[in-house]
Copies of this chain bind each other. A is one copy, B any other.
Amino acid sequence: WKEPLIFELSKPGRVGFTLPAPIENIKIQIPEHLKRDQLELPELSEPEIVRHYTRLSEMNYGVDSGMYPLGSCTMKYNPKINEEFANHPKATLIHPYQDERTVQGALQIMWELEQWLKEITGMDRFTLQPAAGANGEFAGVMIIRAYHLDKGETQRNEIIVPDSAHGTNPASAAMAGFKVIEIPSNEQGMVDLEALENAVSERTAGIMLTNPNTLGIFEEDILEIAKIVHKAGGLLYYDGANLNGILGKIRPGDMGFDVVHINLHKTFSTPHGGGGPGAGPVGVKEHLVEYLPVPLVEFDGEKYYLNYDLPKSIGKVKEFYGNFTVLVRALTYLKMMGREGLKEVSEIAVLNANYLTQKLKGTKGYELPHKELRKHEVVFSAEPMKKDTGVKTLDVAKRLLDFGLHAPTIYFPLIVHEALMIEPTETVSKEDLDAYVEALKQISKEAYTNPEIVKTAPHNTAVRRVDDVLAAKKPIITWRMYKQLKEKGEVDY
């Protein structure tokens, strides 16, 4: 159904609020040239607002709605108990500048979380400040930059990135002022060692890697890779987006990584909120601790405190101490799962991914390039289907929606044509996996017999296929833009 815009529901005179009276009714004279004269916000009562956003929520698919196998996104179930503490007044009603003696609980939560993350990754210290994975990547590469500058190696201005990397990796490196050197994958889907050898030099600041990589494949040569990069004087950065595939079993620190970021909203079950807030803590080995953002959380055996005394720190990548209530959720999850629980997570996540791989493999139209054995995710190619029937990966994704399922990540990684990147996570059931495979098989059948139904999908959703070309061609970003275009008769929607 169509829900009007909140502006279209407005009726002048309505109010949705009652504010407390001012302490005293003192008259304040704002200078005329600064005084607000018009403000076109909608006017609604509280029941109308609640109904509007309730209806909108019902037009949205979340993890609680069903399987959500976006590759590299680790859309696992978000335990409700996490929310209880994230919304606890003792967590929400504290000010970041409160005297440390009055926020010992908050500091303890941050300190404890750091201890968990250190052991899980094999790193020596963490900052919890970054608000997201990319914010963490930026912090990480800035630390690498600071390290080299501090050592006087000003010529190290290149970061190496495999062609299968997440887009944020090159973008983060570029933001930190680095030149990005892309190297190709080999036919097994892993880093090409020869290409790497050729890429490293005295200009190499470091390499950014995901392991398991975005194909879901474990980089078997990781020790060799580490050796090559370290030997050239570079550092190894671990993109933790795919940590769920090795959690509780293997540690980036043991593989030779110097810097690590973790997505708490992926691996540690904090909800993604339709795009955020997330949290991207960054861990480093001993030799990089002095460059971490300020402040660090310390514990002297009796009390917790904030340590700003890091003269070589990169500074700050975000105000205050990070997305605190996200940290609360992650710690809750970690305490609940414990050592064996975390191991169980990756084992079942990998089992589920390989189960799906094997069940889907051989289905007409889908191809499984690279190695068979995957970790937490798998990338199929629908290239044969496109060639045979004209049905594109985008069509397959849209048709999946008709089955009440969320599509996988598509057209990524870039090295696989017509890619379908599927990450089931450990929180889906065998029945869910079977149903997903069944749906993909059904779509294959349709593609080869009645392709139109796939090409025009979805059919059973709140709206039909959305025209994103039009959106880019005629941008309408706000109500005020819309009104202008509407007045000019340029939109009929």
A interface vs B, CB < 8 Å? Answer: 1, 11, 14, 18, 45-48, 50-51, 54-55, 58, 63-66, 77, 79-80, 336, 404, 427-431
Contact = CB atoms under 8 A, between A and B. Distances in A.
Report the 4 A-B pairs with minimum CB-CB distance, sorted nearest first: A47-B77, A54-B64, A47-B427, A50-B64
Nearest to A52: B64
A19 to B, nearest CB: 13
Q: Is the interface of A mostly helix, strand, loop or mixed?
A: helix
A138 B336 CA distance: 48
B430 A46 contact: no
A50 B431 contact: no
A54 B50 contact: no
26 contacts: A1-B404, A11-B429, A11-B430, A11-B431, A14-B429, A18-B336, A45-B427, A45-B429, A46-B77, A46-B79, A47-B63, A47-B77, A47-B427, A47-B428, A47-B429, A48-B429, A50-B64, A50-B77, A50-B80, A51-B64, A51-B65, A51-B66, A54-B64, A54-B65, A55-B65, A58-B58
Contacts of A336: 18
A11 B404 CA distance: 22
Given A46-B77, A58-B58, 14 more contacts: A11-B429, A11-B431, A14-B429, A18-B336, A45-B427, A47-B63, A47-B428, A47-B429, A48-B429, A50-B64, A50-B80, A51-B64, A54-B65, A55-B65
Contacts of A77: 46-47, 50
A434 to B, nearest CB: 12
Contacts of A14: 429
A15 to B, nearest CB: 12
A230 to B, nearest CB: 41
Contacts of A45: 427, 429
Nearest to A58: B58
Contacts of A429: 11, 14, 45, 47-48
Contacts of A55: 65
A94 to B, nearest CB: 18
Nearest to A404: B1
A77 B45 CA distance: 11
Contacts of A48: 429
A11 B431 CA distance: 9
A431 B52 CA distance: 14
A76 to B, nearest CB: 8
A407 B1 CA distance: 20
A18 B77 CA distance: 16
A54 to B, nearest CB: 4
Contacts of A63: 47
Nearest to A429: B48
A54 B431 CA distance: 18
A86 to B, nearest CB: 15
A213 to B, nearest CB: 27
A172 to B, nearest CB: 32
Nearest to A62: B54
A79 B429 CA distance: 37
Nearest to A63: B47
Contacts of A79: 46
Contacts of A47: 63, 77, 427-429
Nearest to A88: B89
A146 B36 CA distance: 67
A61 to B, nearest CB: 11
Nearest to A431: B11
Nearest to A460: B1
A47 B336 CA distance: 15
A81 to B, nearest CB: 10
Contacts of A54: 64-65
A55 B62 CA distance: 11
A427 B47 CA distance: 7
A64 B48 CA distance: 8
Contacts of A46: 77, 79
A88 to B, nearest CB: 9
